[in-house]
Structure 1
Amino acid sequence: MRRRARGFSLVELLLALAMGLVLVLGGSQVVIDSRATHASQQAAMSLQDDARFVLGKIIQDIRQAGMFGCLATGFIENAPPAFDRPVSWSGGAGAKSLTLVTADAGNESGKPDWTVLSDCTGSAQAYTGNSPAPAPGEIRFALRQVTYTFEAGQLKVSTPAAPAKAVLVDNVQAFELGFGLAAKPASLQVVRYDAAPADASLIRSVRIQMTLRDPSGRVKAQTYSVVAALRNQLG
């Protein structure tokens, strides 16, 4: 006696198709979410790398601002007016800038803006550009003036030798400066922060807050904050 072969009913087939579709859609969503998470992590890491590079460069210059050698500025003959204000700033409707007169330890700008030749005992002379060869017992200190400018969503850098502003980083949403001030010129302790202090000689540190945004919108804008002390002011 022959048995009749039994196949799938239409309801069973439709149910199997529906379950398969759910599984495929679920797997696809997991892959999509995984890719989106990876993309956002990569975007966040890219912003962190940009911030680390830019802020590290600015911090190094802030720490060495006003370092004109082994003698105080008052002992330096022919010192340019810029030596009296190693940290300066400006801010307008569309731009903000921070200008530093700092040690050119790595000879980053090629030819220095100034060179101080000193015997570190009581004699020092400032020269524009390079100085003559030091005599026995003398030391040369290379100095440069660097300006960081925030404008049109970019942070740029320029020097007197290279006045064309070079872009350090794009997609800058905000760039804020605060200056840590001492109560009096003889004091080292920071008592308050001010965005535009009246007396630059009281500046002991600089606080920077920079916000970077991801142009593709894969991650929220990230804000980074650092404080750098002026080593020459702290002894």
Structure 2
Amino acid sequence: MKRATRGFGLVEIMLALLLGLVISLALAQIFITSRSTFLSQAASASLQEDARFVLAKMIQEVRLAGAFGCLASVRDESTGAAFSAAFRSPVQWDAPQSALTLNTTAPADSGSWHNWEIHTDCTSTAIAWTRGRAPKPAEGEHVLAIHQQVYRLNQGAGELTLNGQPLISNVGAFEVLFGVASAADAPGIARYTAQPDPGLIRSVRLALTLLDPADRTREQTFSVVAAIRNRTG
């Protein structure tokens, strides 16, 4: 008599297939979740890096705004007396146009581009000239390069531009507030406002909202505050 043949029944096979399917679905879900988390973190890190680059550049220029040399007054010999407006208001914010204008001393490594040059001996004379039209500096004079930087939000394109050229894309908002003192001789900040008295400005708060075009992470708003080192009005 033959021994009974042993094996798997239909029910056992169905249970094994069901168990395998459940495990496969769980592993797939873990993979999808892990990939989604990785992409979200990568997108968030990319937004942070973009914001850090732009805001660091702007903060440097905010701190240099109004640094027009050693003397309190500068004689304007620039074309159309254009330097005088920059001298009176080194920091300007046009809220309706979302445009921030900074008139700053150009950093030493910025190259040859600038709007004006100030020739000064740091004791008695300081004269502003349009770039390219300045005479040769006199003996004992120093030359300060001054440039005008205009940061503007192009809302239609979602871009922050610098002097008309795209600087960073996927920008949802660009806001500027000024920390102002209660009086001209007060050092502390009493409040923040978008329309300050230039002579009361003590700091500038910049806020930049960036979006992820692939919608892998939520929009993020980054903000920094820089103290004003020079006069603003």
Task: Settle same-fold status: TM greater than 0.5.
Answer: yes
Determine the structure 2 residue equivalent to 1:126.
128
Pairwise mapping of residues 84-163 of structure 1 onto structure 2 (< 5 A)? 84-92=88-96, 95-106=97-108, 108=110, 110-130=112-132, 131-152=134-155, 153-158=158-163
Determine the structure 1 residue equivalent to 2:22.
22
Determine the structure 1 residue equivalent to 2:79.
none
Deviation at 1:137, TM superposition (A): 2.4
Match of 2:220 among 198, 219, 222: 222
Deviation at 1:109, TM superposition (A): 6.5
Determine the structure 2 residue equivalent to 1:5.
5
Q: For 1:129 and 1:190, locate their aligned partners in 2 and report how far apart those are by CA, in whole Å.
A: 37
| 1:47-75 superposed Cα distances (whole Å, 9 cap, x missing partner) | 00110111111111111000001112x2x
2:199–2:231 CA contact under 8 A, matched in 1:
no
CA RMSD of aligned residues (A): 1.7
Aligned: 1:43 with 2:48: no
Deviation at 1:135, TM superposition (A): 3.3
1:77–1:124 CA contact under 8 A, matched in 2:
yes
| 1:148-194 superposed Cα distances (whole Å, 9 cap, x missing partner) | 00121221110xxxxxx111111111211101112222333222111
Query: Could you list the runs of 5+ residues in structure 2 that have no partner in the other structure?
Result: 77-82
Matched residues, number: 223
Deviation at 1:107, TM superposition (A): 5.4
For residue 62 of structure 2, what is the amino acid of its counterpart?
Answer: I
* Structure 2 counterpart SS, 1:231: coil
Q: For 1:83 and 1:132, locate their aligned partners in 2 and report how far apart those are by CA, in whole Å.
A: 21
Q: For 1:211 and 1:185, locate their aligned partners in 2 and report how far apart those are by CA, in whole Å.
A: 32
Query: Could you list the runs of 5+ residues in structure 1 that have no partner in the other structure?
Result: 159-164
* Structure 1 counterpart SS, 2:110: coil
| 1:73-96 superposed Cα distances (whole Å, 9 cap, x missing partner) | x2x11252221110112122xx31
Q: For 1:126 and 1:208, locate their aligned partners in 2 and report how far apart those are by CA, in whole Å.
A: 30
| 1:103-149 superposed Cα distances (whole Å, 9 cap, x missing partner) | 11145363321111111112111111153343332211100011100
Q: TM-score, normalised by structure 1?
A: 0.89
Q: For 1:119 and 1:32, locate their aligned partners in 2 and report how far apart those are by CA, in whole Å.
A: 67
1:107–1:142 CA contact under 8 A, matched in 2:
no
Q: For 2:109 and 2:148, locate their aligned partners in 1 and report how far apart those are by CA, in whole Å.
A: 12
* Structure 2 counterpart SS, 1:47: helix
1:148–1:156 CA contact under 8 A, matched in 2:
yes
Q: TM-score, normalised by structure 2?
A: 0.90
Q: For 1:81 and 1:157, locate their aligned partners in 2 and report how far apart those are by CA, in whole Å.
A: 20
Q: For 2:114 and 2:173, locate their aligned partners in 1 and report how far apart those are by CA, in whole Å.
A: 31
For residue 155 of structure 1, what is the amino acid of its counterpart?
Answer: L
Match of 1:210 among 208, 211, 221: 208
For residue 205 of structure 1, what is the amino acid of its counterpart?
Answer: S
1:188–1:233 CA contact under 8 A, matched in 2:
no
Identity %: 46
